[in-house]
Amino acid sequence: PKDPSGSPSAASIKIKKEVANAFMKRQKRSSLYFEYYKSPMEQMHERCENYPPCDYLSDQIGFSMAYNRFFG
The pLDDT tens digits along the chain (72 residues) read 555 566 666 667 777 776 666 666 665 555 555 667 888 999 999 999 999 999 999 999 999 999 999 998
Domain ranges, residue 38: 31-71
64 within some domain:
yes
Domain annotation covers residue 11: no
Residue 8 lies in a domain: no
In total, how many domains does the chain have?
1
pLDDT of residue 35: 63
Q: Is 58 exposed, middle or buried (0-12, 13-18, 19+ CB in 10 A)?
A: buried
Q: b or e along 23-47 (b: 16 or more beta carbons within 10 Å of the residue's beta carbon)?
A: eeeeeeeeeeeeeeeeeeeeeebee
In a domain, 25, yes or no: no
- The per-residue pLDDT for 14 is 75
* Residue 66 in domain: yes
Quick one: pLDDT at residue 72?
Answer: 87
Instruction: Specify if 9 maps to a domain.
Output: no
In a domain, 7, yes or no: no
Residue 40 lies in a domain: yes
Q: Give the global pTM.
A: 0.51
In eight-state DSSP terms, residue 7 is S
How many whole angstroms separate alpha carbon 11 and alpha carbon 36? 35
